[in-house]
Structure 1
Amino acid sequence: MIMRTRPGSILVTGAGRGIGRSIAERFLAAGWRVGLFDVDEAAVAGAAAGRPDAVPGLLDVRDPAQWVSALERFCPDGTLDVLVNNAGVLASGPFTGIDAAGHRRQVDVNVGGVVNGALAGHPYLRRARHGMLLNLCSASALYGQPTLATYGATKAAVKSLTEALDLEWRAEGLRVRSLVPLFVDTEMVTRDGQGMASVANLGVRLVPADVAEAAWRVVHERTRLPRSPHRTVGRQTRVLAVASSVSPDWLNRLVVGRLGS
């Protein structure tokens, strides 16, 4: 059966620009009620201006109290169809070249923000029929990469959390999924990921609209036989994910080492 046949409600974090903005735009175009939340309140306010189905708001995903306020504001009836944990940050470079605050910020936003969203969003998703928690993961979670050590570790945590919650919440009728893109043409990659060897070697072949379309598909996908909760984005990512799943660990290590140098 198709899990969703009519517009619903979706809250997107990190919706001020990049992937989050594209996901919000994709669902707005289809008539959904969309919450655009971001630490950049001006950016989401501008995106929502003049659009009655768009609800902007300030949200630092590291703050549980702000999560409570955002959900109360966007979900006055106590229900939410889809929550997209998209907000994330990246600091690239040699591990010891990034200070403790830089590492901590990645953990707090990329992992803590997802945990906070899952905790705060759960009761709203549970009250909605076929509610979905959709987490933005990354191909960096497939194997630890040089110059992306902490970032990759945070996305590996998101991958694991997605798997665990999909099993834990399925009895409540909830679905938990992740999107797994490789490098996407966003400020995170072009600005914060400048100089990464893996970007130079693999290229940037995805744009935010590709991830937004993948989000649309996973929200509307049919239920079939049991399968992984992760959805790769783009052919290049699919090839890498399949190769890493069947290759021995020593070969994955060799390939990643060469791509990252």
Structure 2
Amino acid sequence: MHSIFISGAAQGIGAATARLFYQHGYKVGIYDINEIQAQKLAQQLGPHAKAGLLDVADYQQWQQALSEFKAWAGGVNVLVNNAGILYSGAFEQTDIAAHHRTVDINIKGVLNGCHAALPYLQRASFARVINLSSASAIYGQADLASYSASKFAVRGITEGLDIEWQKYDIRVLDVMPLFVQTALVKDMDAGSIQNMGVHLTTEDVAQAIYARVQAKDSIFTTTHQAVGLKTKMLMTLSKLSPQFINRMSNRFLAKRK
């Protein structure tokens, strides 16, 4: 039985992913800074689910959580770096501590997870890392500057490690959804969400993650996977259009109603 370790798994995309993989016969690790909620989800799922505490910005907690999970599951096949936060609104009106916290969780959390999980992934017969990037990593977003930057960083980490870890037969892939119906986008203060709307569900993203894990390893398995029609359109536009067109398009999307 393969196993999957998911950060930020107590709610939202992480919880939907835990449910889906459990249904497909995986041993599931539900780790979150909200341990009580993580434990509740594990109890709901059943005996092949294990929950625990994890602050992704704390490397020692990663080491402890992965060691604990490996001892319980017998190994680690899939790591999903899902934990993340979002602050929206004018850059200068957002406290600098919030910008720093975005970096600590969204970037350092992914670095910590990949670094701490590698020894376990190396010993697995099948291993894959799935990172949660975003459509905000296609072009920098107004009123979401630090969040967008953090997802560009996740995109870069994914690209770099997907090449570097070929020597270990480990694929490092990501999913890039637009806005998803989670607590992160509640009361979000950005023109782009007003213009683009929130149409993706957590189950949509979970299905994309499952497809990434199940995809055969070949030269045709892309590192990035846009989730949703609008994200696919934005990604295609960014590849085909001159930079000034991309900038104008994103200026239009950022206009508040």
Quickly name the TM-score band, shorter chain normalised.
over 0.9
Deviates more, 1:73-82 or 1:123-132: 73-82
Map of 1:117 onto structure 2: 113
Map of 2:62 onto structure 1: 67
Map of 2:96 onto structure 1: 100
Residue by residue over 1:33-90, the C-alpha shift from the partner in whole angstroms, topping out at 9 and shown as x without a partner, is 0000000011111001151101000000000110011001100176310000000000
The 1-side partners of 2:168 and 2:141 are apart by: 36
SS of equivalent residue, structure 1 residue 35: strand
| 2:133–2:174 CA contact under 8 A, matched in 1 | yes
Q: 1:131 aligns with which of 123, 127, 131?
A: 127
SS of equivalent residue, structure 1 residue 75: helix
Map of 1:80 onto structure 2: 76
The residue identity in structure 2 corresponding to 1:40 is N
Map of 2:156 onto structure 1: 160
Map of 1:184 onto structure 2: 180
- Answering whether residue 188 of structure 2 is matched by residue 221 of structure 1, we say no
The 2-side partners of 1:152 and 1:237 are apart by: 14
The residue identity in structure 1 corresponding to 2:69 is F
- Answering whether residue 246 of structure 2 is matched by residue 252 of structure 1, we say yes
The 2-side partners of 1:101 and 1:157 are apart by: 19
The 1-side partners of 2:177 and 2:214 are apart by: 19
| 1:78–1:127 CA contact under 8 A, matched in 2 | no
TM-score w.r.t. the length of structure 2 is 0.96
Residue by residue over 1:4-29, the C-alpha shift from the partner in whole angstroms, topping out at 9 and shown as x without a partner, is xxx41000000110000000000011
TM-score w.r.t. the length of structure 1 is 0.94
- Answering whether residue 50 of structure 2 is matched by residue 55 of structure 1, we say yes
**What is the alpha-carbon root mean square deviation over aligned residues?**
1.2
| 2:33–2:55 CA contact under 8 A, matched in 1 | yes
| 2:215–2:221 CA contact under 8 A, matched in 1 | no
The 1-side partners of 2:166 and 2:128 are apart by: 10
Residue by residue over 1:144-170, the C-alpha shift from the partner in whole angstroms, topping out at 9 and shown as x without a partner, is 111000000000000000000000001
Task: Structure 2: state its 5+ residue gaps.
Answer: none
Residue by residue over 1:121-144, the C-alpha shift from the partner in whole angstroms, topping out at 9 and shown as x without a partner, is 011111112311110000001111
Matches within 5 A, 1:202-241: 202-241=196-235
Structure 1 residue 246: Cα displacement: 1.1
SS of equivalent residue, structure 1 residue 11: strand
SS of equivalent residue, structure 2 residue 181: coil
Q: 1:29 aligns with which of 23, 27, 31?
A: 23
Residue by residue over 1:71-129, the C-alpha shift from the partner in whole angstroms, topping out at 9 and shown as x without a partner, is 01100176310000000000000000011100000000000000000100011111112
Alignment: residue pair count:
253
The residue identity in structure 1 corresponding to 2:36 is A
Q: 2:136 aligns with which of 137, 140, 159?
A: 140
Structure 1 residue 227: Cα displacement: 4.8
| 2:181–2:201 CA contact under 8 A, matched in 1 | yes
The residue identity in structure 2 corresponding to 1:117 is G
The 2-side partners of 1:147 and 1:210 are apart by: 25
Task: Structure 1: state its 5+ residue gaps.
Answer: 1-6
The 2-side partners of 1:87 and 1:10 are apart by: 15
